[in-house]
C-alpha cells in the first residue's frame, strides 16, 4: 500500500498550539519555525503543558512573516517576530530543557508580561539562536552521528501514521484528534504502528531516519481546545503499547538533507 504525507504541523513556541501547513522547509534542527521559541520560569527552566495545561489555550498563527499568539477564550493576543536573528540587542541567558543547558535569547519584556498574564505564572519567552548547538539525545545510541535539535523534547521530528491513530481510536470510547500527540508529520497508508519498524526513508526528496519510539506523557491527556484533562489516551495505550515503564506512540526522526516537504508527497521506505 502506498504511503503518503497527509499533514504537516509546526509548533513555533514549545507546548503552545500548533499550525497546520501544506508545505514546510526541513532544516537541521527541525521544520522551519518549529520549537525555536520556548517559555522558561524565573530560573530558566522550561515550561510545558505537563505542569500548565492552560498553555493549550494559547494558539499560534503565521501572518505576514510574523507570529500571532492569541488566547482561544480571551480577547488577548501578541505579535512576535518569526526571525529573531536580526534583533541584535537580545539578552542571552542560560536555559534548561530536560538535562540540556542551552544559551537562549530573551525576546522582550512585553512578551514576558503577556505570557506571564496568560499562563498565570512568572515566565519569560526565549529564542534559540542559529549558532546554538543542542545535540539530540544519544545516550542509548539511537543515533550515532551528530544531529541537532531546537527546543523539541529530544529529536527534531515526530511522525505518526493515521492508521495508528485510527487503531487507537477504535479502542477508545471517545475518539481523539491527532493534535493530542503533537506530531510534525502524519501519513496515510500502511498498517497500524508500522512506523515502529521504519529505518531510513524518503519523504519526497528528503531523507529521514526513524531513530526512537516516542514515549508519551500527560500532555496527550490534555484537551487542546479546553485544557481539560482525563485519563485517556494513556490508560488505553498502556494496555497494548507499554514498553517497560513507558507508553509508546509515534516515531522520532532525524533528517539527512534540507528542502521542502509537502502534503501529498510519497513516502519511500529504503
pLDDT-derived band at 268 (thresholds 50, 70, 90) equals very high
Tens digit of each residue's pLDDT (9 = 90 or more) over 185-202: 999 999 999 999 999 999
- Name the residue with cell 527546543: 151
pLDDT-derived band at 181 (thresholds 50, 70, 90) equals very high
Residue 90 clears pLDDT 70, i.e. is over it: no
Residue 217 clears pLDDT 60, i.e. is over it: yes
- Name the residue with cell 515526530: 158
Contact assessment for residue 68 and residue 17, using Cβ atoms and an 8 Å cutoff? no
Residue 19's pLDDT is what? 98
Residue 83's pLDDT is what? 80
Tens digit of each residue's pLDDT (9 = 90 or more) over 123-165: 999 999 999 999 997 655 667 678 999 999 999 999 999 999 9
Residue 145's pLDDT is what? 76
Residue 140's pLDDT is what? 53
Tell me the pLDDT of the chain averaged across its residues.
Answer: 95
User: What cell does 146 get?
Assistant: 551528530
Task: State what percent of residues in the chain have pLDDT above 90.
Answer: 90
Task: State what percent of residues in the chain have pLDDT above 70.
Answer: 96
- The two beta strands, 246-255 and 3-10, are unpaired
Cα dihedral value 246, 133, 108, 180, nearest 10? -20
pLDDT (average), residues 230-246 = 97
pLDDT-derived band at 98 (thresholds 50, 70, 90) equals very high
Alpha-carbon distances, residue 227 vs 1, 87, 122, 177, 224 (angstroms)? 37, 33, 19, 14, 6
pLDDT (average), residues 205-219 = 96
Secondary structure in 3-state letters for 56-125: HHEEEEEECCEEEEEECCCCCEEEEECCHHHCCCCCEEEEEECCEEEEEEECCHHHHHHHHHHHCCCCEE
- What single string gives the DSSP state of each residue in 23-52? EEEEETTEETTTT-EEEE-TTSBB--TTT-
User: What cell does 193 get?
Assistant: 504502528
pLDDT-derived band at 225 (thresholds 50, 70, 90) equals very high
- The two beta strands, 124-127 and 206-215, are unpaired
Residue 203 clears pLDDT 60, i.e. is over it: yes
- The two beta strands, 157-161 and 200-203, are unpaired
Residue 91's pLDDT is what? 87
Stretch (H or E) spanning 134: none
Amino acid at each position: 500500500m502506498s504511503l503518503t504525507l497527509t499533514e504537516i504541523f509546526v509548533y513555533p513556541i514549545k507546548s503552545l498550539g500548533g499550525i497546520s501547513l501544506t508545505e514546510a522547509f526541513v532544516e537541521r534542527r527541525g521544520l522551519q519555525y518549529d520549537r525555536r521559541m520556548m517559555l522558561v520560569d524565573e530560573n530558566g527552566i522550561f515550561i510545558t503543558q505537563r505542569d500548565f495545561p492552560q498553555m493549550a489555550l494559547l494558539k499560534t498563527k503565521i501572518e505576514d512573516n510574523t507570529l500571532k499568539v492569541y488566547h482561544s477564550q480571551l480577547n488577548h493576543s501578541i505579535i512576535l517576530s518569526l526571525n529573531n536573528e536580526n534583533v541584535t540587542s537580545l539578552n542571552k541567558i542560560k536555559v534548561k530543557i530536560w538535562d540540556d543547558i542551552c544559551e537562549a535569547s530573551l525576546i522582550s519584556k512585553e512578551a514576558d508580561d503577556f505570557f506571564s498574564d496568560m499562563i498565570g505564572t512568572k515566565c519569560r519567552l526565549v529564542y534559540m539562536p542559529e549558532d546554538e548547538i543542542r545535540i539530540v539525545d544519544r545516550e542509548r545510541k539511537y543515533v550515532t552521528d551528530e544531529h541537532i535539535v531546537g527546543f523539541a523534547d529530544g529529536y527534531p521530528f515526530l511522525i505518526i501514521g493515521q492508521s495508528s491513530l485510527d487503531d487507537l481510536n477504535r479502542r477508545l470510547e471517545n475518539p481523539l484528534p491527532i493534535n493530542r500527540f503533537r506530531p510534525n508529520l502524519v501519513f496515510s497508508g500502511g498498517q497500524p504502528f508500522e512506523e515502529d519498524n521504519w529505518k531510513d526513508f524518503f519523504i519526497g526528496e528528503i531523507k529521514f531516519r526513524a531513530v526512537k519510539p516516542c514515549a508519551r506523557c500527560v500532555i496527550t491527556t490534555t484537551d487542546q481546545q479546553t485544557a481539560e484533562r482525563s485519563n485517556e489516551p494513556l490508560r488505553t495505550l498502556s494496555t497494548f503499547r507499554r514498553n517497560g515503564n513507558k507508553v509508546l506512540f509515534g516515531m522520532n526522526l532525524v533528517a539527512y538533507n534540507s528542502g521542502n516537504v509537502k502534503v501529498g508527497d510519497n513516502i519511500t521506505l529504503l
